[in-house]
Amino acid sequence: MAEHVEQSEHISSSGFNWLIWAILIGATFLTAWIATIDLGMFNTIVALFIATCKASIVVLFFMHVKYTSEKMTKAVLIAAVFWLLLLLVLSLADYSTRYAG
């Protein structure tokens, strides 16, 4: 067997983890505040956009997807999100065109 070449794992610094935490806490209070302002239909869009930003930050930096050497991890993540979008988009497209509310 060839000698084991060990790739060094990514270790995030404490300061970077605290920065991510501060961004997430800030976004939480921002989204709660924006919800009290009347933006019409954009309230939902803004709330879901901020939630998606927060989720992406957690996935990339806290769950280390940005630093992983394993390409399959990204493939699984993209496949799962794609499947979820198929479920949501096709179901909502169906209900919003057939079901006269």
Partner 1 sequence: MSDRASTGGSPLVVEHEHQDRPELRHHFADVVQQRNAASLGMWWFLGTEIMFFGGMFCGYLVYRRAYFPEFAAGSRSLNLLAGTLNTAVLICSSLTVALAVRASQLGKRKQLVNLLLATIFFGVCFLAVKGFEWRKEYVEHHIPTFYFDAQNMAHDNPNLHIDPQHAKIFFSLYFALTGVHALHMIVGIGIFSVITFMAWRGKFGPEYHTPVEIAGLYWHFVDIVWIYLFPLLYLIDRRGP
Residues that bind partner 1 (CB under 8 A): 1, 4, 6-7, 9, 11-14, 17-18, 20-21, 24-25, 28-29, 31-32, 35-38, 43-44, 47-48, 50-51, 54-55, 58-59, 61-63, 68-70, 72-73, 76-77, 79-81, 83-84, 87-88, 91-92, 95-96, 99, 101
CB-based contact 34:42 (threshold 8 Å): no
CB of 90 to partner 1, least distance (A): 10
Residues 6+ apart with CB under 8 A from 9: none
Q: How far is the CB of 20 from partner 1 (least distance, A)?
A: 7
CB 20 within 8 A of CB 57: yes
Read off the amino acid at residue 85: L
Closest contact distance (angstroms) between CB of 3 and partner 1 is 9
Q: Is 51:31 a contact under the CB 8 Å cutoff?
A: yes
Q: State both tokens at 62.
A: 């806290």
